[in-house]
Structure 1
Amino acid sequence: MIEMPPLQFAEVNGIRMGFYEAGPHTDAPPVILCHGWPEIAFSWRYQIKALSEAGIRVIAPDQRGYGATDRPEPVEAYDLEHLTGDLVGLLDHLKIDKAIFVGHDWGGFVVWQMALRHRDRVAGVVGVNTPHTARPPADPIELLRKRFGDSMYIVQFQNPAREPDKIFGSRVEQTFDAFMRKPPPRKDDATSDAPTAGVGASPKTNLAFPQMIAAYDA
């Protein structure tokens, strides 16, 4: 197994953030790798090794709520103002002027917002499976509910009774076994359904939790 660099910590934006760093310090902008959900910085272990061996300084933080980084309780503490503010704080801690931000999944939404909110700290953006999209014309949760129904996993996560939390808390091992297993072969039957406000996946796709895992790459 590829080993991670030593875990380091920084006090940023009111939280303690865990991060990993490798590669030489040069005049070139470093690369900041921002993971998605349900992942942690460890997901970038192969990229950290490859980039650092190529002579590139690379930094991979656990974003707030994940891994070795603090996880505040209020839902409002996870808006994009806070998430991008954490990355600015990490740059300040490391005395980095600008960086290239690479984001996968939810991390992609964060890095695109870095370019919009903190353009003077961004040398470039790479979105891995998360394209930049315009601000939706309505509440994005309501758009997802209209497209996929109440059982769609992101809609389910808005449940005020926090039922998904109970699933995760009582079945941690089974949950991550399900997320990390090899997916079934993908079918190449592209949807012919018209998109709803930019949401292109077919409403016939089962995106309930945990059934959505089987069809995740839809």
Structure 2
Amino acid sequence: MDVLATLDPRLQPDSGKSTGTVFLVHGWPDLALGWANHIPFLLSKGLSVVALDKIGYGGTDLSEDVKFYTWKRAADDIATLSSQLGLSRIILGGHDFGGAVVYRTAIWHPDLVAAFYVLNTPFAAPTASGKFKQPALYIAATQDLTLPPSLSEGMETYFDSLGRGEIDGGHWARWEKPLEVDKYVGNWLATSVFGNASLNLTAGLGLGAP
């Protein structure tokens, strides 16, 4: 398995100085490679990027023990990797099943997750109360027959700050309309994330440090 060093240039913006770190979480069936056309855009914004293969995918280990595949374990794995990289604040991006992991990670590790964005995965609250405090963005696709935009109706109830985008595409809108995805994410970063000192995006001694 290819192991990236903490300061591997493939994870760093061209300037070498990071404004923060984004973890990208893929869905099913997919791999970290699915983010390939989105990563250059994030790097152009001065962000470091960690695109991970979830356990059981790609070159990762495969366990027969089901406890390794729970929502909580997936969230804790992201928190552990962040700690190993010296990061105490991250931005999360997710698609499909990965979007569900992003929501849970933001719930269970609110001090770690500064902000997050999700494609094609509307939020379904696991409890009847509580709100996300982090800035969030949800991008729907009008032709997604599996997770149509209508499933996201009422999501605002569970967010203090929720931005929205809608793309004329299917479930794989990230591949079909990459420039439109980048535009929505870029506008959200500019208006809700960058410049918000309270998010402390460069906290930590690893990839997120300036």
TM category (shorter chain) comes to 0.5 to 0.7
Q: Which residue of 1 aligns with 2:36?
A: 45
Provide, for residues 77-108 of structure 1, a one-character-per-residue CA deviation record: whole Å limited to 9, x for no partner: 20011101110111011101110000100000
Q: Which residue of 2 aligns with 1:95?
A: 86
Read off the aligned partner of 1:94 and give its amino acid letter. Answer: L
Q: Which residue of 2 aligns with 1:129?
A: 120
Partners in 1 of 2:59 and 2:3 — Cα distance?
Answer: 9
Q: Give the alignment of 1:38-77 within 5 angstroms.
A: 38-77=29-68
Q: Does 1:107 align with 2:102?
A: no
Q: Which residue of 2 aligns with 1:22?
A: 12
Question: 1:73 Cα shift?
Answer: 1.0
Q: Does 1:78 align with 2:69?
A: yes
**Gap regions ≥5 residues in structure 2:** 129-142, 155-169, 173-210
Divergent runs of 4+, >3 A: 24-27
The structure with more radius of gyration: 1
Question: 1:30 Cα shift?
Answer: 0.8
Report the 3-state secondary structure (helix = DSSP H, G, I; strand = E; otherwise coil) of the residue aligned with 1:95.
Answer: coil
Report the 3-state secondary structure (helix = DSSP H, G, I; strand = E; otherwise coil) of the residue aligned with 1:85.
Answer: helix
Partners in 2 of 1:123 and 1:187 — Cα distance?
Answer: 28
| TM-score, scaled to structure 1 | 0.53
Read off the aligned partner of 2:58 and give its amino acid letter. Answer: G
* Percent identity of equivalent pairs: 33
| TM-score, scaled to structure 2 | 0.55
Q: Are the aligned partners of 1:22 and 1:48 in contact in 2 as well (CA < 8 Å)?
A: no
Q: Does 1:8 align with 2:3?
A: yes
Read off the aligned partner of 1:113 and give its amino acid letter. Answer: R
Aligned residue pairs, count: 132
**Gap regions ≥5 residues in structure 1:** 1-5, 11-19, 138-185, 199-214
Q: 1 or 2 for the larger relative contact order (CA 8 Å, sep ≥6)?
A: 2
Question: 1:74 Cα shift?
Answer: 1.6
Report the 3-state secondary structure (helix = DSSP H, G, I; strand = E; otherwise coil) of the residue aligned with 1:8.
Answer: coil
